[in-house]
Structure 1
């Protein structure tokens, strides 16, 4: 596999790892702040950038910035949240352009993020966007969080027993879904991806997730569609027609 293809395969693995780590941290923080004035919403935004790093095995470093929201009715509706973000991005781009400036999602003006790698090296390149959500097939976050406290789940649970999910789109056309399940069997990583994570996988390998964004129920496909709109807006602006 050519070097660039190997780099992208490695990047997908690194992004999946970052997603798992961020989703876990999101879960723990939301649990600690549940039912307080600083309670967190169930969804978070992730922005991925890479900078050149010749000393690294694949010549790059991954930088992840994120945004968490306080709990509110607006922050609980993920498709609506993504649509609103896409509109905010378009507004920020236009407003900066009218003032003779170029807007960037990491700031300094109208930053989209409030945590993580908010100041990557100059020249860092946007490679994708994702969302972390605490909603899962165990239930909506608010419902599950109450279960932790009232014991209605039938056995003792902590935040470390709960599942979470991440959805990611990258500029090479990758779509990736992470089902973070602390109870999963050893060897089950919960990753579904439209492109390979293994650069040495045979070319004839059949990927059952090649059409990932078209799979699932209506709500899942709508989530992918809204995330895609945000991703397209960011990519068009930050890459300006250049190859991603």
Structure 2
């Protein structure tokens, strides 16, 4: 559904911005955050909403550590965690917990919520790796040049249960009309057919980008097979 995709884009951008602010404020401190975050998307019935549902997002942030710096490796570890929880806890396991929770923020209590997708927020961008860019901000401040974290980019990747693949390039300096969204399906419910250069989005990009998609796909398939097979919903 185009409306759900649009809401996921908005929610991803908002979470990425919040992730950036928290990471910037904690940079260099004992509670410093890693550059990547996991996002889980659920919907619940909401008859008063225009499309009859409400989108919920739970997320996981990691402390700064070598184990949380490499996004494909982090996603592979989350897939292993999910598989282990499914094997040990069984059909009642939910990534929202309480037992074996995969998240530590957002909407973590959703009775009746239905899983619709998974995503990641990352502070790495074409401006550079997060740690490099964050140090640049502080070097500029020390030299008397004003730079704000609000000028920094961020990225999000998401996969939804209807086959949607989304990449969001959050750029505060983007020109008006450039939303930075790439999607293999339309975000316009009134647009039925058109040429989509991102039809094979998960196969595009450099080696690291394709590896991110591969690992995110593995996690998505693990969660989908468990959560949408009548085991937890």
* 2:163 equivalent among 173, 181, 190: 173
Give the TM-score normalised by the residue count of structure 1: 0.92
* 1:212 equivalent among 196, 201, 219: 201
Distance 1:219 1:241, change over 3 A: farther
* 2:136 equivalent among 147, 156, 166: 147
- Gaps of at least 5 residues in structure 1 are 1-7
CA distance in structure 2 between the partners assigned to 1:28 and 1:14 by the alignment: 21
Deviation (angstroms), 1:241: 7.2
- Gaps of at least 5 residues in structure 2 are none
Q: How does 1:51-70 map to 2 (within 5 A)?
A: 51-70=44-63
Q: Which runs of 4+ in 1 moved over 2 A?
A: 152-156
Residue 176 of structure 2 corresponds to residue 196 of structure 1: no
Tell me what 1:103 maps to. Answer: 93
CA distance in structure 2 between the partners assigned to 1:155 and 1:180 by the alignment: 24
Tell me what 2:103 maps to. Answer: 113
Residue 35 of structure 2 corresponds to residue 35 of structure 1: no
Deviation (angstroms), 1:204: 2.9
CA distance in structure 2 between the partners assigned to 1:14 and 1:96 by the alignment: 32
Distance 1:54 1:159, change over 3 A: same
Backbone CA RMSD of aligned residues: 1.7
